[in-house]
Amino acid sequence: MKEMRGWLMLLASLFANMTFQAGLNPPDGFWQDSSVTSPGVQQKAGEPILYDTHRWRPIFFWSNTVAFAYSMIMVMLLLSKRIFNSGNRMIIMRNFMIINSFIVAIAFAAGS
């Protein structure tokens, strides 16, 4: 049980770090200047390029946000001693981490 807790904490911390970095530095970077590139597309300096140019942008931003929230909740729960003492709860948390892995995969597939 203690080993599972350690692995879950490692994965939760890794996913939290990855999703936080992807939120700060989204794929393709940011627009450097403001202008109108084509009809209906107006770029604003400082906004993510992915947000204006890629049709999968909502999937990336939403799944990245959900994965970050899941990871932070997992870290907080794993720090709790009551969760650690219950074997069934650790199994449930492991399953939530598997779901979080798929959400992170969706975010990075949509962002690439």
Q: pLDDT for 53-107, tens place per residue? A: 667 678 888 999 999 999 999 888 888 777 666 667 778 888 888 999 999 999 8
Closest Cα partner for 111 from 17, 38, 28? 28
The pLDDT assigned to 38 comes to 63
Query: What pTM, to 2 d.p., does this model score?
Result: 0.75
- Report the half-sphere exposure of 68 (CA within 13 A, side-chain side): 16
The pLDDT assigned to 68 comes to 94
As a whole number of angstroms, the distance between CA 89 and CA 97 comes to 12
The residue behind tokens 């627009």 is 31
Closest Cα partner for 46 from 26, 66, 21, 72? 26
- Report the half-sphere exposure of 81 (CA within 13 A, side-chain side): 0
The region, left, alpha or beta by phi > 0 then psi within -120 to 50, assigned to residue 6 is alpha
> What is the mean pLDDT of the segment spanning 28-42?
69
Please state, as a whole number, how many other Cβ atoms lie within 10 Å of the Cβ of residue 59: 15
Q: What ranges in the chain are assigned the alpha helix state H? A: 2-24, 49-53, 57-79, 81-84, 87-111
